[in-house]
Structure 1
Amino acid sequence: MPRKAPMKLRISAELKYSLEAPTDALVQVEAAATLQQTIVSERLDAGETTYLSRISSEDSIGTRVWLSCAESLSVRYESEVEIERPAVDLQSLNAEPVHRLPHEAVRYLMASRFCPSDEFQSFVAAEFSQVQGGACIAEMAEWIGSRFIYSPGASGPQTTALDTFVQRRGICRDFAHVLISLARAKAIPARMVSCYAPDVDPQDFHAVAEVWLDGGWHLVDPTDMAKPQETAVIGVGRDAADIAFLTTYGWATLQNQQVWVNRA
């Protein structure tokens, strides 16, 4: 059979913040170059800075950019990305026994700041005891999608998966936090992924989960807005604290933030 052409996305992102004083900032907005996605072209304009350097992101997936800015922070990112990530039927994937998990997956079994998975063990044992592996992850994602309300403004930067579980509303980061917590409580490694996807509504930086099944990582979006084969990964981490698109070490006030993602 002929090889399927890769999905192409055109991505633009713009961040503008005013600063009270000279401030250091860590920016993570560039799509990652991986085996499943190729950066055809990209440009990052960081405006006026006194310092700029790149460092590797978590698990060496993607990059972070250190910036030092005086009065304002202004970042413009543009890229074209080709994605060759096949759609996979989660139902067909098996979970590995915990004692056979490799080093790269073990750390994502542990509870983290926004994903207190140990608090979900009793619930998972009661609700998902009869289903295993990828079928369990698919059922968990469906459970979240059918019971939670996607509600911008309903959560804040300190909202944990437990908060969201109680409130039953939030945004993409909250949905992903809950799925990650449920998966870890089931002894399936799960991590957070920042990404771009064309059908996110309202369009913005997006967050999904990634689970370790059958010896590899597989994207899962409990909001059902991002398909794995149309998702451009930016970076990964334990939870939202590791994948933030912007972390400032000083006071910053939002002036403008926009993201555009289109199929090329």
Structure 2
Amino acid sequence: MRLSIDVTLDYNIDDSAEILLQVEAAAMVDQHLEHQDMRVFSADPIRAVPGEDAIGQRTWARGTGHFRVEYNAIVAIDRASIDFAELPATPLWQLPGDAVPYLMPSRYCESDRFEGFVHAEFGDLTGGALAAAIGKWVQGNLTYKSGSSAGETTALRTFADRRGVCRDYAHLVVALARAGGIPARCVAAYAPGVDPPDFHAVAEVWLDGGWHLIDATGMAACGDLARVAVGRDATDIAFMTVFGTAWMNHQKVVVKRLD
């Protein structure tokens, strides 16, 4: 699978602000960057720093007045589809150190509030069987509705409202998985067929020695996703974090299959 990615961010910045960008697809074993180019229209220099867990990179920029970013890439994805429902659970004491933080509650994924529900709803399921059941439950019990949530919406609120957008689906999958003893993280990604076209958010769970993607919205298969960044929740994977005030003029995300 090869994806063509075309992104434009066009904003006005009140006065001046530091901006942290995460829009570049990550170079990883299962996704190869055949081409990429990012242009930040700013009078100030930009600076790249590693992303969370050394996946991808963040770019620091300064915006003053009109601020524009253009990014395009071609990404080749070579990722086998795995039925992770058959994968065993990893005993917690055998988890690698970098997976342990993804067992813990975070700002948008209050996993400690879901432990009773996970036990009651999913019984004795563990490992891949539990992760698959969680993904199926979230897909079957939430309604995708643009504009139904806000920047402060957490997994607990999404659970109560039973609706949301992709980040809300990802937050709820992550919170439920962590409540069931499975390390889980949020992933910012590009995917074709996302409606409306936008940056996409999915979940990733640690099973049997590796990370496995789950898109509970049902809009993308694991082989169609190009990861941008990973993290505890939306705090870590936002495509643009403005330390100040910004107003959107225009934003475009176009992702197409090339073969």
Residues 1:88 and 2:82 aligned together: yes
* The one of 97, 103, 111 aligned to 1:109: 103
C-alpha displacement of 1:112: 0.2
* Residues in 2 aligned to 1:88 and 1:159: alpha-carbon distance in whole angstroms: 31
In structure 1, the residue matched to 2:11 is: 17
C-alpha displacement of 1:130: 2.9
* The one of 172, 181, 201 aligned to 2:175: 181
* Residues in 1 aligned to 2:229 and 2:51: alpha-carbon distance in whole angstroms: 7
Letter in 2 for 1:256: H
In structure 2, the residue matched to 1:207 is: 201
* Residues in 2 aligned to 1:49 and 1:193: alpha-carbon distance in whole angstroms: 31
SS in structure 2 opposite 1:242?
A: helix
In structure 2, the residue matched to 1:4 is: none
* Residues in 2 aligned to 1:226 and 1:182: alpha-carbon distance in whole angstroms: 20
Mapping of residues 123-162 of structure 1, within 5 Å: 123-162=117-156
The 10-residue stretch of structure 1 (14-23 or 52-61) with the greater mean CA deviation from structure 2: 14-23
Q: How many residues align?
A: 258
C-alpha displacement of 1:51: 2.3
SS in structure 2 opposite 1:219?
A: strand
In structure 1, the residue matched to 2:225 is: 231
In structure 2, the residue matched to 1:63 is: 57
* Residues in 2 aligned to 1:87 and 1:235: alpha-carbon distance in whole angstroms: 20
* The one of 246, 250, 255 aligned to 1:256: 250
In structure 1, the residue matched to 2:42 is: 48
- Which deviations, in whole Å up to 9, do the C-alpha atoms of 1:153-194 show, x marking residues without a partner? 000000000000000000000000000000000000000000
C-alpha displacement of 1:201: 1.0
* Residues in 2 aligned to 1:162 and 1:72: alpha-carbon distance in whole angstroms: 37
In structure 2, the residue matched to 1:247 is: 241
* Residues in 2 aligned to 1:131 and 1:119: alpha-carbon distance in whole angstroms: 19
In structure 2, the residue matched to 1:79 is: 73
SS in structure 2 opposite 1:59?
A: helix
Letter in 1 for 2:18: D
Give RMSD over aligned pairs. 0.8
Preserved CA contact (<8 Å) 1:49 1:67: no
Give the percent of matched residue pairs that are identical in Structure 1 and Structure 2: 47
Residues 1:217 and 2:188 aligned together: no
In structure 2, the residue matched to 1:33 is: 27
C-alpha displacement of 1:219: 0.4
- Which deviations, in whole Å up to 9, do the C-alpha atoms of 1:76-120 show, x marking residues without a partner? 100000011111102121110111111011110000000010000
* Residues in 2 aligned to 1:72 and 1:93: alpha-carbon distance in whole angstroms: 50
C-alpha displacement of 1:63: 0.4
In structure 2, the residue matched to 1:3 is: none
C-alpha displacement of 1:54: 0.3
C-alpha displacement of 1:48: 2.4
Normalising by structure 2, report the TM-score: 0.98
Preserved CA contact (<8 Å) 1:50 1:70: no
Letter in 2 for 1:123: F
* Residues in 1 aligned to 2:174 and 2:6: alpha-carbon distance in whole angstroms: 28
Normalising by structure 1, report the TM-score: 0.96
